[in-house]
Structures are given as C-alpha cells and as structure tokens.
Amino acid sequence: MIKAVLVMNTQGKPRLAKFYEFQTVEQQQEAIRNVFSVLCSRPEHVSNFVDAESFFGPDSRLVYKHFATLYFVFIFDSSENELAMLDLIQVFVETLDKCFRNVCELDIVFNYSKLHTILDEIILGGQVLETSSTEVMKAIEEIARLEAASSAINLVPKSVSGWRSR
C-alpha cells in the first residue's frame, strides 16, 4: 500500500502532500521535514530508494525522483515493488507534463485542484488504479468536459413558469 505522496521543492516547501494513512497535522509536518532532510543530504549519484522506517513506521520504504526544482516522493510498504513505484512516479510526471505542457513548480502551485485530480486517477486510497499516462489523460479530459458542460448548464437562467412580466 502507498502510505503517502509528496511533492516538495528543493527548499523543502511541500507543494503536494497526500497521506493515505491517518496522521495528525503535526505528524505530517514532521514526516515532511524528515523526508526533506533525508533527500537534501543525499548525493546525486546514489540510489533513489531509502528505508523510511524511522519516520513512517516498520516496513516502510521511500522512493523519489528529482526533476528540476521538485522532488517527487512516494512512501509505501513491502506489498509494493520499489521499481514499480519509481515507474509510477514517472507516469505521474509524464501526465503532469502532458497536462501543463512542460510542468514546472508554478503549475503545481496554481493548479492544485487539477494536481489532486490527476493523482486520484493514478492512486486512490493508497492503491494503484492506473499506470498509463494516456489513460489518465483521457479521464482528465473527460472530467474537464463534464465540468464545462455542468458549468454551462448552471449559467442558463431558469425560467419561472406562471410569472408574467409587467
């Protein structure tokens, strides 16, 4: 099971923090600080896999990828494959690139809702739903189409029968 997905910049500011197991706000903040301290102290040429038992409990692993100014981090237990999680990060980033045409930190900051929608199409409740960025994009486009249709319906004035204008 995936325990958490974090996206943070190189200064340690979380841009996305989604926890799939209950943790208090204080525990979440402490976990984010601990993850960042581990990531910023690691040299570029070492493995992207880290043992996360010290801050996420027993049987926890962390995998990350560093793209430009952002770290994409998945924390998971032993029921998930480390290489599959690394590939899932790639799918997430590819989908963001397709959505935002070369994603950057500002895209994530100003499109927070869309970011969550994309992540929810890939992972729901800590379980992987979709591993194809093409399929995720189809779902995102369908959601956008339905939202546009819904807002168009809400813009049409409702007629009130039985009322005459004077």
pLDDT tens-place string over residues 85-98: 999 999 999 999 99
pLDDT level of residue 102 (50, 70, 90 thresholds):
confident
Query: 5-28, pLDDT tens digit by residue?
Result: 999 999 999 999 999 999 999 999
Rounded Cα distance, 58 and 73, in Å: 18
**Residues with Cβ within 8 Å of residue 52, at least 6 apart in sequence:** 35, 60, 61, 62, 75
Mean per-residue pLDDT, 102-125: 92
Which domains, from first to last, does the chain contain?
2-155 (3.30.450.60)
Mean per-residue pLDDT, 156-166: 54
**Three-state secondary structure call for residue 70:** strand
Residue 32 has pLDDT above 60, yes or no: yes
Element (H, E) at 36: helix 25-40
Q: Which of 112, 118, 108, 106 minimizes the C-alpha distance to 143?
A: 118
CB atoms within 10 A of CB 124: 13
Q: Which range among 85-89, 103-107, 129-133 shows the weakest confidence by mean pLDDT? A: 103-107
